[in-house]
Structure 1
């Protein structure tokens, strides 16, 4: 039995499926923790494999590789340094579990499985791909009986009660919980509830980084037995948080306050989540940088600003490839706006003349369009040719092409060219939040930004968005976003929407637009999920366009 235990929370950014790189990441964290005198290094849920793994979990060869990598990592702990507690998918017979592995003294000393498969996004969601494990008992870690909470176990009073009754002296939670507004506080409050219920201290480590459509926000922390916060790591950054614990005269464990970094909140947190998601989309994809198509509109200006903040101006190429007839590109000052945007951001601007390409396409298809109304079809063709041109330019550079579409436009099918893009930074944000973010960024510089301080979006671009943000025939942006949210996020009926001030004809018209856009949405670029709603992923509807009526 020991009276002291130093626990390092390794808030790491693993890459899904990249076992070798993740193992090296954990080795580096362990080496730093050893230098700081840690006895135990705790890593997030799924830290060895990365998350989310989706159907990779079902591949036997991958699970074989996970086990081999874990055993190799365990062998490193024979050096007498700190023990390593790491999350990984783990096979037990025919079942696959979200597991925590204790690596110590050169071997896998103990394994525990997630027992509570609920918990939603506070845990480590894998869409039902993991099997539930048995109710756990504590494991011995350097003479201390530690109760492990893996993923959704943090939300379960039953798991905590079982651990406490089985003799656990403290709790350790391994999480992979993604960002949403207010979720960092929810994790702390869930942990406080567990501490109050069982009277044991608790430390929790959360993953950080962008992966697929999720952005994991970190914010690891430690609570004393009474629920007092005694240590907290930052949001949106890799960090090693060290906490030191001592056994008291009554055998309970206490810790003096350690490092406390207040979490960012509100608009700053949302902007930071988008920046981190984009940074990792580029880094984990092995791209040297990003390409943004500038139109002179707010969406493209803000996308370019986020890209520069995430990557630095030298790794961002802005391209102006105006479309004849576009409401924004046709404005006389759009070229000046694009020039001002890149001057403010410090990135490079290339101009591409699409006229000859579009003229050739129109000439080629003229016989097919003869005698028919072809304006709409030609406009969509031009948008797709523009997208193909930008995609070819990005591919030639090896860069990631960014969509500038926001959630409102995606839902309504106003971005037919988006399919050629690799990442939609604003794809989960309604137009109202895009404007709010741009205003915030013009007077703030987020932590870790690689872009300039001060204004990054020209005032003329903001003023234009305030005047007109939606095509003719649609309501103002605030009303439109409220209507879409009511239809798709809150499940309101037409009568309820009319009661909120929306015209019945507009409700039906917008619904029809949403249904017709389903096929385009299925081809849409991945976007970081940052919405508060449980249905943050865009709704799936029948793609044939037949489900048209609301009543």
Structure 2
């Protein structure tokens, strides 16, 4: 390698929150590979590498700092390379989100994150105190400045780096995915590069953590805003980059293009399911396969995440289940090669109705009987889960969860929901996308009108507006915080808007009891949107 080259590796790895020992072992292995296989002078890891992100209230544990310092001491075993790693650390004013630079067992530098995000899924001000100054260090004659994630969303830290005489900015990140985040990140970093003229090395986390997915996509950007190298999306990777110390810029490398919408969302869903199941130690998953599009897409995601041998599908028909649904569910299971069972629920339903006959004597059939069907199915799935150690995947989409078109202790039973933040219209698009990779979902499942099949000839649009309208109303109200009048001004019927908004608000109690699921939008239910269950707010101007 040229003496005028600083060789850096972007270590985009998959960590487990709270597993400090395991994460440290991953760091040691990656650092040794960076040094030995890539002849790296410097290896850069993501934000809060040692404890994982987001650690939430684990940061309040009294032994956290002791364990973190023990982990940093373990890194003494790695010689001959500078290691830049994220970790919590104590500063003069309290706990800090730090970047630590190590070389041959010695701490060369520490930097405290200056801008602590406290919006959407972030609540770092609950745990950390902010830093107030830039930190630089030297590696092979190159002056390197440290920043952490949110720092680059403001111009001050980058300007501090320039004023400190830095040649290159290193950015440690745990930037969670949403469907537009990849382009937003690059544009944000491009602004900092163009403001300062400094190149930026942006290292991002990969992997799933509860509802958050981190998509990787680490990159090196020159001072003119041009991406010169990048790591792959949705995979662990050690990506070498060359920094020319004479020109003060990155040498050109092969650049991976941004993924298209359907590819990046689908891979996020697969990553979320895979890591939630594996990191929590489940043997596999089981789901109810109805013959409808939501369960069909969920089945495909599960198989792509875990392999067919770890997935069980159960069809639980009732008298309203169509022959078409039975045929399509079997075809889906056969194509994907999963364990498939048919368990009729009519005997269970009849037993419940017999027991409840006195209570229901003076009442006609209504949604109670529909919900009871769903709850029979939930009981079966949870029994299989308990007996086999398989987690139940629920299959409801964001459109249904928004307006409460789901049954507590029925189809909402389970441990994880791949489609929780996926609007119904996108469910259709993702199903077409998955079929473009290989046919797994019968076309008539995609084409037929959606139905819960809980009543004769039932279709979703008997109870809901067309999904093309419903999803846009939900997007404007939930993700964009638009008022009812603003939504109406876009051309939607006033009564429909008021009805949908009211349904969204009154069904917060259901969503509080819903399982976690992959976040793919800038405003998912759960960590993002926190509305009071008991409230007197009504849609209006």
Question: Mean alpha-carbon deviation: is it higher for 224-233 or for 81-90?
Answer: 224-233
CA contact (8 A) 1:296 1:461 kept: yes
Identify the range of structure 1 (138-147 vs 154-163) with the bigger mean alpha-carbon deviation.
Answer: 138-147
247, 251, 260: which one aligns with 2:255: 260
Change (3 A) 1:484 1:134: same
1:110 aligns with 2:94: no
User: What residue in structure 1 maps to residue 348 of structure 2?
Assistant: 357
CA shift for structure 1 position 466: 6.9
Q: After TM superposition, give the deviation of residue 29 of structure 1 in Å.
A: 0.9
Correspondence 1:30 to 2:25: no
3-state SS of the aligned residue for 1:193? helix
Cα drift, residue 283 of structure 1: 1.3
Output the CA distance in 1 between the equivalents of 2:379 and 2:210.
Answer: 23
Q: Output the CA distance in 2 between the equivalents of 1:261 and 1:31.
A: 25
Take 2:521 and 2:54, find their aligned partners in 1: how far apart are those partners? 18
SS in 1 for 2:359: helix
CA contact (8 A) 2:211 2:518 kept: yes
Is 1:457 the equivalent of 2:441?
A: yes
Partner of 2:500: 510
The corresponding residue for 1:275 is 270
Residues 1:442 and 2:435 are matched in the alignment: yes
Given the superposition, is the C-alpha separation of residues 9 and 120 from structure 1 closer, same or farther in structure 2, using an over 3 Å criterion?
farther
**Stretch of structure 1 that moved more, 469-478 or 524-533:** 469-478
Structure 1 segment 192-271 matched on structure 2, within 5 A: 192-248=190-246, 252-271=247-266
* Most deviating of 85-94 and 202-211: 85-94
The change in CA–CA distance for 1:71 and 1:415 in structure 2 (over 3 A counts) is: same
Q: Count how many residue pairs are aligned between Structure 1 and Structure 2.
A: 530
Q: TM-score, normalised by structure 2?
A: 0.92
Any idea what the Cα deviations from partners look like across 1:71-100, whole Å, max 9, x if unmatched?
222x213xx332211111222255222111
Deviation at 1:470, TM superposition (A): 2.1
Summarize deviations over 1:372-428 as a string: whole Å, max 9, x none. 345322322332231122022123221221110000111111111244211110100
> Aligned partners of 1:533 and 1:237: how far apart in 2?
24
1:495 alignment partner in structure 2: 485
Gaps of 5+ in 2: 452-457
Q: Which residue of 2 aligns with 1:449?
A: none
- Provide the residue aligned with 1:135 in structure 2: 133
Alignment of 1:69-148 (within 5 A): 69-73=71-75, 75-77=76-78, 80-93=79-92, 95-118=94-117, 126=124, 128-148=126-146
Look up the match of 1:447. none
Contact kept? 2:15, 2:52, Cα under 8 Å:
yes
Q: Deviations over 1:201-240 (max 9, x none)?
A: 2211100111111111111111233333221111111111
Shift in alpha-carbon separation, 1:399–1:93, aligned structure 2, 3 A: farther
Name the counterpart of 1:67.
69
> Structure 1-normalised TM-score?
0.90
Aligned to 2:454: none
Contact 2:117 2:124 in 1 (8 A): no
SS of 1:60 mapped into structure 2: coil
The 1:363/1:538 distance shift into structure 2, 3 A limit, reads farther
Unmatched tracts of structure 1, length 5 or more: 445-453
Query: Aligned Cα RMSD in Å?
Result: 2.4
The equivalent residue for 2:22 is 21
Q: 1:321 aligns with which of 316, 320, 325?
A: 316
Kept in 2: contact 1:169–1:253 (CA 8 A)? yes
How far off is 1:170 after superposition? Answer: 1.3
Check whether the contact 1:289–1:315 (CA below 8 A) recurs between aligned residues. yes
Q: Quote how far apart the aligned CAs of 1:322 are.
A: 2.3
What does residue 371 of structure 1 align with?
362
Q: CA deviation at 1:336?
A: 0.6
Distance 1:198 1:514 in 2: 45
Contact 1:242 1:259 in 2 (8 A): no
User: Which residue matches 1:56?
Assistant: 58
CA contact under 8 A between 1:469 and 1:476: conserved in structure 2?
no
Asked if structure 1 preserves the Cα contact closer than 8 Å seen for 2:174 and 2:214, the reply is yes
Partner-residue secondary structure (3-state), 2:84: strand
Equivalent in 447, 450, 473 of residue 483 of structure 1: 473
